[in-house]
Amino acid sequence: MGRSSGQDVGASGGQQIKTLETGESLFIQGDEIRSVCVLRDGWAFRYQCLEDGRRQIVDFVLPSDVVGIGPSSQMPYGVEALSPCTWVMIARERFFTNLHHQPALSMKLLNMLSASQVRAFDYMTSVGRRTARERVAHLLLDLARRVQNSASACQGVEISMPLMLSHIGDALGLATETVCRCLGELKRAGILVFSAGSLEIMDLEALSELVGLAVDGKDEDNDGRDRKRLVA
Protein backbone atom coordinates (compact mmCIF):
# COMPACT_ATOMS: atom_id res chain seq x y z
CA MET A 1 0.00 0.00 0.00
CA GLY A 2 1.34 3.43 -0.90
CA ARG A 3 2.46 6.06 1.57
CA SER A 4 0.06 8.91 2.24
CA SER A 5 1.39 12.34 1.40
CA GLY A 6 -0.23 13.74 4.54
CA GLN A 7 -2.08 16.51 2.71
CA ASP A 8 -5.79 16.88 3.46
CA VAL A 9 -7.69 15.26 0.62
CA GLY A 10 -10.96 16.75 1.79
CA ALA A 11 -9.91 20.36 2.03
CA SER A 12 -12.81 22.67 1.27
CA GLY A 13 -12.83 25.85 -0.72
CA GLY A 14 -13.72 24.80 -4.23
CA GLN A 15 -10.72 23.72 -6.28
CA GLN A 16 -7.18 22.92 -5.16
CA ILE A 17 -4.03 21.34 -6.62
CA LYS A 18 -2.43 18.30 -5.01
CA THR A 19 0.89 16.71 -6.00
CA LEU A 20 2.04 13.18 -5.21
CA GLU A 21 5.35 11.40 -5.58
CA THR A 22 5.63 7.85 -6.88
CA GLY A 23 4.19 5.40 -4.35
CA GLU A 24 2.19 7.97 -2.41
CA SER A 25 -1.55 7.52 -1.92
CA LEU A 26 -4.21 10.02 -2.91
CA PHE A 27 -6.47 8.19 -0.47
CA ILE A 28 -6.71 4.63 0.80
CA GLN A 29 -9.55 2.14 0.68
CA GLY A 30 -12.27 3.08 3.16
CA ASP A 31 -11.33 6.76 3.43
CA GLU A 32 -14.05 9.39 3.58
CA ILE A 33 -13.24 12.07 1.01
CA ARG A 34 -14.94 15.36 0.26
CA SER A 35 -13.40 16.04 -3.15
CA VAL A 36 -13.68 14.71 -6.68
CA CYS A 37 -10.17 14.27 -8.08
CA VAL A 38 -9.12 14.83 -11.70
CA LEU A 39 -5.65 13.63 -12.75
CA ARG A 40 -3.85 16.42 -14.63
CA ASP A 41 -0.41 14.83 -15.08
CA GLY A 42 1.17 11.45 -14.38
CA TRP A 43 -0.10 7.90 -13.89
CA ALA A 44 -1.88 6.26 -10.96
CA PHE A 45 -3.94 3.17 -10.23
CA ARG A 46 -7.03 2.22 -8.29
CA TYR A 47 -6.79 -0.86 -6.10
CA GLN A 48 -8.58 -2.95 -3.51
CA CYS A 49 -6.87 -4.91 -0.73
CA LEU A 50 -7.95 -8.05 1.08
CA GLU A 51 -7.58 -8.45 4.84
CA ASP A 52 -4.32 -10.38 4.46
CA GLY A 53 -2.76 -7.60 2.36
CA ARG A 54 -3.20 -9.10 -1.10
CA ARG A 55 -3.80 -6.35 -3.64
CA GLN A 56 -5.90 -6.22 -6.80
CA ILE A 57 -5.34 -3.31 -9.19
CA VAL A 58 -8.78 -2.62 -10.63
CA ASP A 59 -7.92 0.17 -13.07
CA PHE A 60 -5.08 2.40 -14.22
CA VAL A 61 -5.70 6.16 -14.02
CA LEU A 62 -4.39 8.35 -16.83
CA PRO A 63 -4.52 12.14 -17.33
CA SER A 64 -8.07 13.57 -17.45
CA ASP A 65 -9.50 10.53 -15.60
CA VAL A 66 -11.69 11.24 -12.56
CA VAL A 67 -11.76 9.39 -9.24
CA GLY A 68 -13.75 9.91 -6.07
CA ILE A 69 -17.20 9.71 -7.66
CA GLY A 70 -19.74 7.39 -6.11
CA PRO A 71 -22.98 7.16 -4.16
CA SER A 72 -21.02 7.57 -0.93
CA SER A 73 -18.07 9.69 0.13
CA GLN A 74 -16.47 6.53 1.57
CA MET A 75 -14.19 5.07 -1.07
CA PRO A 76 -14.37 1.32 -1.85
CA TYR A 77 -10.88 1.54 -3.38
CA GLY A 78 -7.58 3.33 -2.87
CA VAL A 79 -5.56 5.37 -5.36
CA GLU A 80 -1.74 5.23 -5.55
CA ALA A 81 0.66 7.18 -7.76
CA LEU A 82 2.63 5.21 -10.35
CA SER A 83 4.66 8.31 -11.20
CA PRO A 84 4.78 11.90 -9.92
CA CYS A 85 1.20 13.14 -10.23
CA THR A 86 -0.71 16.40 -10.21
CA TRP A 87 -4.37 16.28 -9.23
CA VAL A 88 -7.11 18.88 -9.41
CA MET A 89 -9.24 18.54 -6.29
CA ILE A 90 -12.81 19.83 -6.62
CA ALA A 91 -15.23 19.92 -3.70
CA ARG A 92 -17.95 17.32 -4.29
CA GLU A 93 -20.77 19.82 -3.91
CA ARG A 94 -19.20 22.19 -6.42
CA PHE A 95 -18.47 19.37 -8.86
CA PHE A 96 -22.05 18.10 -8.91
CA THR A 97 -23.38 21.64 -9.17
CA ASN A 98 -21.20 22.13 -12.25
CA LEU A 99 -22.65 18.95 -13.78
CA HIS A 100 -26.15 20.33 -13.28
CA HIS A 101 -25.34 23.59 -15.06
CA GLN A 102 -23.00 22.24 -17.79
CA PRO A 103 -24.59 19.47 -19.89
CA ALA A 104 -21.42 19.10 -21.98
CA LEU A 105 -19.44 18.31 -18.83
CA SER A 106 -22.08 15.79 -17.80
CA MET A 107 -21.83 14.07 -21.19
CA LYS A 108 -18.04 13.96 -20.96
CA LEU A 109 -18.27 12.34 -17.53
CA LEU A 110 -20.84 9.85 -18.79
CA ASN A 111 -18.54 8.85 -21.66
CA MET A 112 -15.64 8.43 -19.25
CA LEU A 113 -17.68 6.26 -16.89
CA SER A 114 -18.95 4.17 -19.80
CA ALA A 115 -15.38 3.58 -21.00
CA SER A 116 -14.40 2.60 -17.47
CA GLN A 117 -17.22 0.08 -17.36
CA VAL A 118 -16.11 -1.44 -20.68
CA ARG A 119 -12.56 -1.80 -19.28
CA ALA A 120 -13.95 -3.49 -16.18
CA PHE A 121 -15.79 -6.02 -18.36
CA ASP A 122 -12.65 -6.61 -20.41
CA TYR A 123 -10.52 -7.17 -17.32
CA MET A 124 -13.12 -9.58 -15.92
CA THR A 125 -12.98 -11.53 -19.19
CA SER A 126 -9.19 -11.51 -19.09
CA VAL A 127 -8.97 -12.85 -15.56
CA GLY A 128 -11.70 -15.41 -16.14
CA ARG A 129 -11.03 -16.69 -19.66
CA ARG A 130 -7.88 -15.37 -21.35
CA THR A 131 -4.57 -17.15 -21.10
CA ALA A 132 -1.74 -15.45 -19.24
CA ARG A 133 -0.12 -14.36 -22.52
CA GLU A 134 -3.43 -12.98 -23.80
CA ARG A 135 -4.03 -11.11 -20.53
CA VAL A 136 -0.67 -9.34 -20.67
CA ALA A 137 -1.05 -8.50 -24.36
CA HIS A 138 -4.60 -7.18 -23.90
CA LEU A 139 -3.68 -4.94 -20.95
CA LEU A 140 -0.69 -3.39 -22.72
CA LEU A 141 -2.67 -2.78 -25.92
CA ASP A 142 -5.50 -1.20 -23.96
CA LEU A 143 -3.11 1.14 -22.14
CA ALA A 144 -1.35 2.01 -25.41
CA ARG A 145 -4.62 2.93 -27.08
CA ARG A 146 -5.61 5.10 -24.12
CA VAL A 147 -2.30 6.95 -24.30
CA GLN A 148 -2.12 7.32 -28.08
CA ASN A 149 -5.86 7.85 -28.75
CA SER A 150 -5.79 5.77 -31.94
CA ALA A 151 -4.77 2.29 -33.00
CA SER A 152 -2.43 3.36 -35.79
CA ALA A 153 -0.40 5.57 -33.44
CA CYS A 154 0.43 2.57 -31.23
CA GLN A 155 2.78 0.83 -33.65
CA GLY A 156 6.46 1.57 -34.06
CA VAL A 157 6.77 4.21 -31.33
CA GLU A 158 7.94 3.98 -27.74
CA ILE A 159 5.10 4.67 -25.30
CA SER A 160 6.07 5.61 -21.77
CA MET A 161 4.38 3.36 -19.21
CA PRO A 162 5.66 3.71 -15.63
CA LEU A 163 4.70 0.13 -14.74
CA MET A 164 6.66 -2.60 -13.01
CA LEU A 165 6.01 -6.28 -13.57
CA SER A 166 4.33 -6.43 -10.16
CA HIS A 167 1.74 -3.85 -11.26
CA ILE A 168 0.88 -5.91 -14.34
CA GLY A 169 0.65 -9.02 -12.16
CA ASP A 170 -1.59 -7.32 -9.58
CA ALA A 171 -3.90 -6.11 -12.35
CA LEU A 172 -4.18 -9.51 -14.02
CA GLY A 173 -3.95 -11.99 -11.13
CA LEU A 174 -0.57 -13.31 -12.32
CA ALA A 175 2.74 -13.97 -10.61
CA THR A 176 5.59 -11.64 -11.56
CA GLU A 177 7.50 -14.59 -13.01
CA THR A 178 4.55 -15.41 -15.26
CA VAL A 179 4.35 -11.81 -16.50
CA CYS A 180 8.08 -11.87 -17.27
CA ARG A 181 7.73 -15.11 -19.21
CA CYS A 182 4.78 -13.78 -21.25
CA LEU A 183 6.64 -10.58 -22.13
CA GLY A 184 9.59 -12.67 -23.27
CA GLU A 185 7.33 -14.75 -25.51
CA LEU A 186 5.76 -11.64 -27.04
CA LYS A 187 9.20 -10.15 -27.68
CA ARG A 188 10.53 -13.30 -29.33
CA ALA A 189 7.42 -13.42 -31.51
CA GLY A 190 8.21 -9.91 -32.75
CA ILE A 191 4.92 -8.51 -31.42
CA LEU A 192 5.98 -6.06 -28.71
CA VAL A 193 8.80 -5.09 -26.38
CA PHE A 194 8.14 -3.89 -22.83
CA SER A 195 11.15 -2.80 -20.78
CA ALA A 196 12.39 0.03 -18.59
CA GLY A 197 8.92 1.53 -18.30
CA SER A 198 8.26 1.82 -22.02
CA LEU A 199 6.29 -0.19 -24.59
CA GLU A 200 6.95 -0.59 -28.30
CA ILE A 201 4.39 -2.40 -30.44
CA MET A 202 6.10 -3.88 -33.49
CA ASP A 203 3.23 -5.86 -35.01
CA LEU A 204 -0.15 -4.30 -34.28
CA GLU A 205 -2.09 -6.73 -36.44
CA ALA A 206 -0.61 -9.79 -34.70
CA LEU A 207 -1.22 -8.20 -31.31
CA SER A 208 -4.83 -7.34 -32.09
CA GLU A 209 -5.43 -10.88 -33.33
CA LEU A 210 -3.93 -12.34 -30.17
CA VAL A 211 -6.18 -10.32 -27.85
CA GLY A 212 -9.38 -10.89 -29.85
CA LEU A 213 -9.61 -7.58 -31.68
CA ALA A 214 -9.75 -7.22 -35.45
CA VAL A 215 -8.28 -4.65 -37.79
CA ASP A 216 -11.48 -3.56 -39.48
CA GLY A 217 -11.46 -1.28 -42.52
CA LYS A 218 -9.86 2.13 -42.50
CA ASP A 219 -10.66 5.56 -41.17
CA GLU A 220 -9.46 8.77 -42.75
CA ASP A 221 -7.33 11.26 -40.84
CA ASN A 222 -7.93 14.97 -41.08
CA ASP A 223 -5.00 15.23 -43.48
CA GLY A 224 -6.58 12.73 -45.87
CA ARG A 225 -4.43 9.73 -44.98
CA ASP A 226 -6.02 6.39 -44.25
CA ARG A 227 -5.45 4.67 -40.94
CA LYS A 228 -6.53 1.30 -39.59
CA ARG A 229 -8.80 1.08 -36.60
CA LEU A 230 -9.35 -1.66 -34.04
CA VAL A 231 -12.77 -2.96 -33.10
CA ALA A 232 -13.83 -5.55 -30.57
Residues of the chain above pLDDT 70, percent: 84
Please tell me the class of the 130-231 domain.
mainly alpha
- Domain covering 3-102 in this structure, CATH number: 2.60.120.10
Q: Given a cut of 60, is residue 19 above it in pLDDT?
A: yes
Domain layout of the chain by residue ranges: 3-102, 130-231
Selected residue with higher pLDDT from 183 and 72:
183
Residues 6+ away with beta carbon under 8 Å from 151: 145, 204, 208, 215, 227, 228, 229, 230
Choice among 60-64, 122-126, 192-196 with the minimum mean pLDDT:
122-126
Query: Is it true that 3-102 and 130-231 share their CATH fold?
Result: no
Q: Given a cut of 90, is residue 154 above it in pLDDT?
A: no
| pLDDT of amino acid 162 | 95
Calculate helix-pair angle for 132-148, 103-129, nearest 10 degrees.
Answer: 160
Residues 179-226: pLDDT tens digits? 999 999 999 999 999 998 899 999 999 999 998 876 544 444 444 444
Global pTM value: 0.82
